[in-house]
């Protein structure tokens, strides 16, 4: 035997019917907090601010990257049988 029951109700009515808590205030608070954090991070994404943070390290990062690439190329060359 098979029964099919259709229930028309809003999400709010369904939530109440099954006894789930109303998390709307928590959700609204989280959305506000996320918005505030996004606004703070937008300031960090300003082009002048990004350039300052990138170049604040100076050439150290570039030198380290160049050494990494050089040693990788040398190791690959040795593995391939080159000098």
Q: Give the model's pLDDT for residue 42.
A: 73
CA 54 → CA 37, 42, 47, 64, 68, distances in Å?
22, 16, 11, 14, 19
SS3 content of the chain, % helix, strand, coil (to 5): 70, 0, 30
Q: Whole-prediction pTM value?
A: 0.41
- If the chain, 83 residues long, is cut into consecutive pieces of 10 residues, what is the mean pLDDT of each piece? 92 91 92 88 71 68 81 82 62
């Amino acid at each position: 035997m098979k029964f099919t029951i259709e229930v028309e109700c809003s999400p709010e009515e369904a939530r109440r019917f099954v006894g789930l808590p109303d998390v709307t205030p928590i959700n609204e608070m989280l959305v506000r907090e996320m918005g505030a954090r996004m606004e703070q991070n937008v300031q960090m994404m300003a082009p002048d601010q990004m350039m300052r943070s990138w170049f604040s390290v100076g050439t150290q990062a570039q030198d380290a990257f160049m050494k990494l690439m050089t040693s990788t190329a040398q190791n690959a060359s040795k593995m391939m049988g080159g000098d």
